[in-house]
Amino acid sequence: MSWWKSLFPKRASDAQMNSELRFHIDELTDENIAAGMSPGEARRRALLEFGGQEKFKEEVRDVYRIRILDATVSNLKSAFRFIRKSPTFSAAIILTLALAIGANSAVFSAIDAILLRALPFPDADQLVRVDQYNQKTSSPLHLVAPVRLEDWNRLNSTFQALTGYYSEDVSESTGSLPERITRAWVSPRFYQVWAVSPVLGREFTPDEETLNGPAAVLISDRFWRRRFNADPNIIGKNLRLDDHLTPIAGVMPPSFLFPNREVDLWCPIPAGFSYGQARANNWFTVIGRLKSGVTVAQARANLATVQAQLARQFPKTDAELSVDIEPLKELTIADSRRSLWLLFGSVTLLLFIACTNIVALLLSRSAQRQHEISVRFSLGASRGALVAQLLTETFLLALIGSGLGLFLAAAASDIFRSLAAELPRVEEIHLDARIVVYSLACSVVVTLLCGLVPAVRGTRRSLSASLAQSGRSQVSGRNPLQWLLVGIQVALAVTLLAGAGLLLRSFQQLGRVSRGFDSSHILTFELSMNWGETGDMKKLRQFTDRILETLRATPGVDAAAISVGVPGAPFRYETELKLLEGRAETEPKLIAENRFVSASYFATMRILLLAGEVCRETDGPPTLVVNRTFADNYFPGSTAIGHHVQSLNLGYSGPAEIVGISGDARETGLDRAPVPTAYWCAPVAEPGTFFLVRTRNAPMTMAETIRRQIHDIEPQRSVYDFAPLEQHFSDALAENRLRTILLTFFAATALSLACIGVYGTLSYSVNVRQREVGLRLALGALRGQIVKQFLWQGLAVCILGCVAGFALAAASSRLLAGLLYGVSPSDVPTLSAVILLVLVVAAAASLIPAIRASRVDPMQVLRDE
Amino acid sequence: MPTEKSDLLQGTLDMLILKIVALGPVHGYGISMRIRQISKEVLQVQQGSLYPALHRLEKRGWLAAEWGASDKGRQAKFYKLSAKGRKQLESEESNWNRLAGAVANIMQTAQ
């Protein structure tokens, strides 16, 4: 820590001091011997004459120490006195800094928790997600067949273990009403991969992980608290899961939120279960733990070799498959990274604006304190000491400000959660020592940024000459440094406003975009189901029909449909389709987004049918509807209707005839242009299928009625997640909204700070030049001229600031490019509006002091002289 | 051995040290000896004042110090005057002369 040493002046080491003193004593002893004393007596006298050595050394040490300690203490004292003496001034600075440092620390705490820290698992950097994908289709389906997972585990040499899981909803019926809970089925080696043990109870036994072994379930901390009130004696009690009694084996720690924060319980799924044996049935998400020291690239290469071996062994199912490995952390946070850094950048700009504001305040303050500073100079204070004193004052203000700001940072988790519940790892944001240290570092940086210039300028020797002058001393009214600072503030505010304006415009564009479906008055919900039910498709079909009929018969409901995935919310299921009629090699492959919907979907969502008919829900040969983009892209100049296609990946859907062409709908997200889409008629609900109901009135008003209707016919199932369709869009855009709201807030704050800057600097200028104005008025100047002059002084700086800000915004627009929708980063209307706004606000801020200047009473001013 | 010893005037010790050191590199013991000898035993510097003063002057950059062997071959810290110290000595000397002259004037005139 060499910087620490450099804070203190060089100090005589104790050893050197000792030998220096010893030399003196030895010499005295010699002197005494020469005077005729015995050596013992001589030494005794010498020591006596010399006095207490320790006291001495202490005094010598004090030469080095006392000044710095004393100075710090007295500087702190005077800083406190300074704050007490000018409470308004100090409060303004402290509040500005509390906001600026607090907001900065809050965003930093999010960055720290989400981006910087490892995931909350032991050695989390070893965790990766392993995907299989088909090279032929552009978008990978990452799911893996359970039997292939076992092969990988057996054949690889770079993983400690690989485990798979899938989750589904289940009804738990030990309570008075069935409750929908989320269960994750986890394959063996769950613990080897996660390395997280239950906080209560035990892990699964090997018996429980084998076929036909005893049942067991681990429950999440959240479920334990919500359902059992954190009962410590819960182990061994039974849950009734879809009518199977399952004993609770353990409770997982609160930080264990995998696969997601909604999960309530984990059940083991044995490797040998019957429907896991088909190599074409992919439904495990696979997580692996790398051996220590193994890189992702090595694991990728290793697993590619393994998969190539499997491809030779099972050419039919495995030949086309490739494997991809990504760090789990990367997959968890990738989407939030840009938003968070963008927010951090803007909040740091805000801090700079706050700093320039404070510099301006301190500058005008130090002009007022010239007299005090001159007196101290004349009393012999060194310039360094005065600078240190002024810096201590700034530091104390910054320290109090960042202390207050920590309250804001402490609320960061709640703020982020309420603005974007979908943000990953948001529950890990909390105030801890790292954030406190960060805030402290911020206050040091702020002290240097804000304090140094005013302190150095304020203590210029030439100023000491002003001691001779009176308080009415002549101060230049031009103060170019202050106006430069105002210009910087305006420029930075324009940059932030431009970013916020573009994001707002982009949000607005999203609202205006033609969706291709009518999302108003649509209520969505889900029913608890499990994959076991899909064994009896006939029964499931009856069940689905019964539900849809009940819904349609409900007063206030116009139409009802089912769909896997919600239209307009990100959900992708892209595969390659094979045209049975054959297709030339030169023609583009049929890559299509797949949607599985009931025939009533088109009427419910009001998606136009352009040609042909809606798919048929009959037991006959399957049919499908394609969208216009599909037809235009793959069958230009001819009709798509009548062709037969088959999906290469969807094992269970046989060849189907294209019977209709629908209008384009933004199925995969409001911000994504329609892609070629195939709507398969799937009149059977599965776990995760959404029910879509078109209501006559506000969607949510129907929720209770529907819940009761369904309970009457399906008392064992829970109905959950009632939400208007629009709510799904808003959830999908949560991150977009988070950055838009926060950036807008930062930009508004920046603008008001810049405004205060303009106002404050101009007011100061007016005050200083009162005499001049009075004189000019006395000599016949018109008040309008005075107003115009001061207004122009403020506006000219703002215009220059706008120009600089415009350039800055243009330079940084690249950062925004990927985050915008339907608006270019150099959108002229947005940027002009921003500049107009800034100029109007700046003009308003300049007008007040300008008018005040013109109201100066010449007589009053001249009399004061 | 004279029985009366005078206390040094506040602030004059620094000047005396600078003056002695100006004669050539010298250690702390040597300085206290010289002051005693030159003042004919009138002035006696307490070690408790001498060493803090030496270190203070060294820290201000008026004195430079280095270790060397004394006449008897012992390791001792030798002080010598820096350029800054020489300037300081000159200004203190002229101040002192003015002050001493003024005091002497008053003492004589008022007699």
Per-residue pLDDT reduced to its tens digit, A152-177: 999 999 999 999 988 877 778 777 76
Q: A464-515, pLDDT tens digit by residue?
A: 455 444 444 444 445 688 888 889 989 999 999 999 999 898 888 887 888 8
Q: Which residues of A touch B74 (CB under 8 A)?
A: 23, 26-27
Contact B29 A51 (CB under 8 A): no
Determine the pLDDT at residue A23: 86
Question: Residue B51: its chain A contacts at CB < 8 A?
Answer: 20-21, 56, 59-60
Q: What is the mean pLDDT of residues B66-70?
A: 86
Contact at CB, B52 and A12, closer than 8 angstroms = no
Assign B5 a pLDDT band (cuts: 50, 70, 90). Answer: very low
CA angle B5, B8, B11 (to 5 degrees): 175
Residue A9 has pLDDT above 50, yes or no: no
A355 Rama class: left (phi>0) / alpha (psi -120 to 50) / beta: alpha
Beta bridge partners of A560: A693
- B73: which chain A residues are within 8 Å (Cβ-Cβ)? none
Find how far residue A756's CA is from the centre of its chain: 30
DSSP letter for each residue of A275-334 = GG--TT---BEEEEEEPTT--HHHHHHHHHHHHHHHHHH-HHHHTTEEEEEEEHHHHHHH
Give the torsion sign (CA, A707, A710, A716, A720): negative
Q: Please give the Cα distance from A659 to B78 (Å, whole number).
A: 107
- CA dihedral sign, ordered A330, A336, A341, A342: positive
Bridge partners (DSSP) of residue A627 are A662
| Dist. CA A851–CA A853, nearest whole Å | 5
User: Cα angle vertex A457, ends A451, A458, to 5°?
Assistant: 85
Highest mean pLDDT among A79-88, A420-429, A433-442: A433-442
Reduce the DSSP state of residue B94 to 3 states and report it. helix
Q: pLDDT band at A63, cuts 50/70/90?
A: low
d(CA B44, CA B94): 23
Chain B residues whose CB is inside 8 A of the A24 CB are: 27-29, 32, 47
Q: For A807-860, how does the pLDDT look when each residue is reduced to its tens digit (9 = 90+)?
A: 988 888 777 877 788 888 888 888 899 999 999 999 998 998 899 888 888 887
pLDDT at A41 over 80: yes
Do B70 and A55 make contact, defined as CB atoms within 8 angstroms? Answer: no
Residue A39: cis peptide before it, omega within 30 degrees of 0? no
For residue A631, give the nearest of A623, A640, A622 by alpha carbon. Answer: A640
Report the gap between the CA of B77 and the closest CA in chain A (Å). Answer: 6
A62 touches B at CB < 8 Å:
yes
- Do B74 and A23 lie within an 8 Å CB cutoff? yes
> B70–A30: do the CB atoms touch at under 8 Å?
no
What sign does the CA torsion over A218, A221, A224, A230 have?
Answer: positive
What whole-number distance in Å separates Cα of residue A289 and Cα of residue A287?
Answer: 7
- Please, what sign has the CA dihedral across residues A124, A130, A135, A137? negative
Q: Does B55 touch chain A (CB under 8 A)?
A: yes
Q: What are phi and psi of A748, to 5 degrees?
A: -65, -40
Predicted local confidence at residue A472, as pLDDT: 44
Residues sharing a CB contact under 8 Å with residue A262, sequence separation 6 or more, in sequence order: A182
**What local confidence, expressed as pLDDT, does residue A836 receive?**
93
CB-based contacts of A650: which residues, under 8 Å, 6+ apart?
A575, A594
| pLDDT at residue A192 tops 90 | no
What stretch of H or E contains A610? Answer: strand A609-612
Interface check A47 vs B, CB under 8 A: no
ipTM of the complex: 0.83
Task: Say whether residue A20 is in contact with chain B using an 8 A CB cutoff.
Answer: yes
pLDDT at residue A380, rounded to an integer? 67
Across the interface, of B46, B47, B56, the residue whose CB is closest to A24 is: B47
Q: Please indicate whether, in this complex, the C-beta atoms of A63 and B48 are within 8 angstroms of each other.
A: no
Tokens of residue A98, six digits: 């509390």
Closest chain A residue to B78, measured at CA: A20
Flag if A24 and B28 touch (Cβ within 8 Å): yes
Amino acid identity, position B105: N
Q: Are B85 and B61 in contact (CB under 8 A)?
A: yes
More confident residue, A817 or A721: A721
The answer to whether A341 and A742 have CB atoms below 8 angstroms apart is no
Give B-chain residues touching A9 at CB under 8 angstroms.
59
The answer to whether the Cβ–Cβ distance between B75 and A23 falls below 8 Å is yes
- Residue A471 near residue A370, CB atoms below 8 Å: no
pLDDT category of residue A64 using cuts at 50, 70 and 90:
low
Phi–psi pair at A198, nearest 5 degrees = -60, 145
Positive or negative, the CA dihedral A295, A299, A304, A305 is positive
Partner A contacted by B44 (CB < 8 A): no
Confidence check: pLDDT of A517 > 80? yes
The pLDDT mean for chain A works out to: 84
Are the beta carbons of B70 and A62 separated by less than 8 Å?
no
Chosen for mutation from B5, B26, B41, B47 (greatest number of chain A CBs closer than 10 Å) is B47
Q: What percent of chain A is predicted at pLDDT more than 70?
A: 92
Answer whether A59 sits within 8 Å of B76, measured CB to CB. no
Average pLDDT over residues B44-70: 83
Q: Can you list the pairs that A546-551 forms with residues at least 24 positions away whose Cβ atoms lie under 8 Å?
A: A546/A713, A547/A685, A547/A691, A547/A710, A547/A713, A547/A714, A548/A598, A548/A600, A548/A691, A550/A709, A550/A710, A550/A713, A551/A691, A551/A693, A551/A706, A551/A709
B77 touches chain A (CB under 8 A): yes
Which residue in A335, A733, A307 sits closest to A503, CA to CA? A733
Region for A66 from its dihedrals, namely left if φ exceeds 0, alpha if ψ lies in -120 to 50, beta otherwise: alpha
Torsion angle, alpha carbons of A191, A195, A200, A204, to 10: 10
Rg (alpha carbons) of chain B, rounded to whole number: 15
- Shortest CB distance from A63 goes to which of B59, B76, B77? B59
Neighbours of A3 (CB within 10 A): 6
A674, A667 contact by CB (below 8 A): yes
Q: Write out the two tokens for A462.
A: 């030439």
pLDDT at B2 over 80: no
| Chain-centroid distance, C-alpha B106 | 26
User: What is the rounded distance in angstroms from the CA atom of residue A499 to the CA atom of residue A347?
Assistant: 12
Determine the straight-line distance between the first and last CA of chain B, rounded to whole angstroms.
31
Closest Cα in chain A, distance from residue B20 (Å): 17
Q: CB distance from B76 to chain A under 8 Å? A: yes
Q: What pLDDT is recorded for position A77?
A: 85
Tokens found for residue A116: 């910087």
Kindly report the pTM of this predicted structure: 0.71
| Residue A4 in this model has a pLDDT that exceeds 70 | no
Query: Looking at CA atoms only, how far is residue B100 from chain A in angstroms?
Result: 24
Record the tokens describing residue A383, joined without a space. 């310039």
User: Helix, strand, coil: what percent of chain B each, to 5?
Assistant: 55, 15, 25
CB-based contact B55 A9, cutoff 8 Å: no
User: What dihedral do alpha carbons A365, A371, A373, A377 form, nearest 10°?
Assistant: 160
Determine whether the interchain pair B56/A12 forms a contact, defined as Cβ–Cβ distance below 8 Å: no
Asked if A58 reaches chain B (Cβ–Cβ under 8 Å), the answer is no
The predicted structure's pLDDT at residue A865: 57
Q: Residue A815 to residues A351, A749, A850, B59: CA-CA distances in angstroms?
A: 19, 21, 39, 53
Amino acid at the residue A250: G
- Asked if the model's pLDDT at residue A354 lies above 70, the reply is yes
Q: Nearest residue of B to residue A67 by CA position?
A: B56
DSSP state at residue A554:
S
Distance from CA of A66 to the nearest CA of B (A): 12
Across the interface, whether the CB atoms of A23 and B46 are under 8 A apart is answered no
Query: Which residues of chain B lie closer than 8 angstroms to A28, CB-CB?
Result: 29
Residue A126: strand, helix, or coil: helix
Look-up: residue for tokens 């949607």? A595
Cβ pairs A/B, distance under 8 A: 53
pLDDT at B99: 85
Sheet holding B63-69, edge to edge: B26-27, B75-81, B63-69
CB atoms near residue A88 (< 10 Å): 7
Segment 13-32 of chain B within 8 Å of chain A by CB:
27-29, 32
Give yes or no for residue A446 having a pLDDT over 60: yes
Give chain A positions within 8 Å (CB) of B44.
none
φ/ψ region of A215 (left if φ > 0, alpha if ψ in -120 to 50, else beta) reads beta
On whether the CB atoms of residues A626 and A678 are closer than 8 A, the answer is yes
Q: Are A545 and A682 in contact (CB under 8 A)?
A: no
C-beta atoms of B51 and A62 within 8 A = no
Q: Which of residues 26-45 of A touch B (CB under 8 A)?
A: 26-28, 30
User: Given a cut of 70, is residue A129 above it in pLDDT?
Assistant: yes
Residue A60: closest C-alpha in chain B: B52
Residue A56 to residue B55, Cβ atoms within 8 A: no
